[in-house]
Structure 1
Amino acid sequence: MNFAVLVFPGSNCDIDCYKAVEETIGQPVSYVWHTETDLSQYDCIIVPGGFSYGDYLRCGAIARFAPVMSALVQAAQEGKYIIGICNGFQILTEAGLLPGALLRNRTLKFRCHPVTLEVVNANTPFTSEYKEGEQINIPIAHGEGNYYCDADTLKELQENNQIVFRYAGENPNGSVDNIAGICSKDGRIVGMMPHPERAVNELLGSEDGKRMFTSILNRWRGKNGAAAIG
């Protein structure tokens, strides 16, 4: 399974994502610079965290117009697997690949610490190895993670089971309905503020993020007639 990690000027979690794929599931992974226009060789595309283009205008607003984004939209239309983490989530909303927007944290402070998440949807390609209602420990690191959408969009997310993660306990940023992550209607595109790539080994404080990577690999292997990994 071929993975791409997109790299924009200001990305700073690209190495974390690369290492998570390489060391957790041992699959081919490549950095893809923001000027590239072809993602056809990749099965899963990761849009990592950081401060793309310095977060000028607003988070993800400039990255949304990078050349690679046309290829990402095409990949989405072709049904490829895409995950946006933190700034990557912001970029996906700016590009219209996921609904809603990410606003400044309600406290107006940057929050960087572990949080407890509830797995709301365990049926996406990225969450199939979790259990619905399970609580997991994944760190956050963001200043603009306050997920917002209007009432009609929220109702649609709830009815279509597009809410993937909620904050359990404290809501660190004020996001509507305690939302920490959502997905497209078909579940192939996931956006989340917490960083699963920083929770793949107990040395990092948690390995609860590891199953996001094994989930997507096993989903791909199942669709391509290969045996699942244990």
Structure 2
Amino acid sequence: MKFGIVVFPGSNCDRDVETVTRGLLDQPTRMVWHQETDLDDLDVVVLPGGFSYGDYLRCGAIARFSPVLKSVVEHAQAGKYVLGICNGFQILTEVGLLPGALTRNRNLHFICDRVPVRVETTDLAWSAAYAPKSLLTLPIAHGEGRYYADEDTLKALEDHGQVMFRYCSPNGEIDEKHNPNGSLNNIAGITNRQGNVLGMMPHPERASDPMLKATDGLKLFKGLIGL
């Protein structure tokens, strides 16, 4: 399975993802500059974390106009995989591949931490390697990570099983106390209706290397490539 990692001015997690896909999992991987438009050779496109275009205006608002995004949309519409991590999630909502929006954290401060996250569904490739209701510890690092959507959109996400990850307590309880940024319904990651596009605020690539003694994120990539 061939991965393409989009690099925007300001991306800072692109090499982290490459370390996982090429370095740990030995998958063919190429870096895709944001002005490129040919993604035909790729199976998975990753929009990594960082501060694309310095997060001017708001996170992802400028990146969504990069030439590559038209091709990313076409890639997703063809049923191929798209993963947006942190800033990548924000870009996916800006471009309309995922519903809702990522807004300022509840406390209006940047959060950099490791948090418990619960896997809500395991019937898609993204989470196929996890057991139902698995509890993960994943890093977060964002200032605009509070997921927001209107009531109808939230209901549709819940009804169709599109919420893949939720912030939770170390014991797996879903409550406001263990919601780091104020996301509605404790949402940490969602998919589109078809399930081939995933956006998530936590960083699985930063919890994939055994050398760091943190590997809870590695199974997301393993499930996708069938390992």
- Give TM class, smaller chain: over 0.9
| Separation (CA, whole Å) in 1 of partners of 2:25 and 2:127 | 15
1:81 equivalent in structure 2:
81
Contiguous gaps of at least 5 residues in structure 1: 219-228
2:66 equivalent in structure 1:
66
2:206 equivalent in structure 1:
198
Q: Which amino acid aligns with 1:189?
A: V
1:178 equivalent in structure 2:
186
Matched, 1:102 2:110: no
2:173 equivalent in structure 1:
none
Q: In structure 1, the residue corresponding to 2:127 is in which secondary structure?
A: coil
2:122 equivalent in structure 1:
122
Percent same amino acid among aligned pairs? 53
1:33 equivalent in structure 2:
33
Equivalent position to 2:219, from 191, 203, 211: 211
Give the TM-score taking structure 2 as reference length.
0.95
2:51 equivalent in structure 1:
51
Q: Which amino acid aligns with 1:200?
A: S
* RMSD after superposition: 0.8
2:152 equivalent in structure 1:
152
2:175 equivalent in structure 1:
none
| Separation (CA, whole Å) in 1 of partners of 2:132 and 2:95 | 29
Query: How far 1:137 moved relative to its partner?
Result: 0.8
Q: Which amino acid aligns with 2:165?
A: F
| Separation (CA, whole Å) in 1 of partners of 2:112 and 2:36 | 31
Query: How far 1:205 moved relative to its partner?
Result: 4.1
How many residues matched? 219
Q: Which runs of 4+ in 1 moved over 3 A?
A: none
Contiguous gaps of at least 5 residues in structure 2: 170-177
| Separation (CA, whole Å) in 1 of partners of 2:197 and 2:213 | 27
| Separation (CA, whole Å) in 2 of partners of 1:204 and 1:81 | 27
| Separation (CA, whole Å) in 1 of partners of 2:14 and 2:206 | 11
Query: How far 1:133 moved relative to its partner?
Result: 1.0
| Separation (CA, whole Å) in 2 of partners of 1:71 and 1:201 | 31
Give the TM-score taking structure 1 as reference length.
0.94
- 8 A contact 1:6–1:32 mirrored in 2: yes
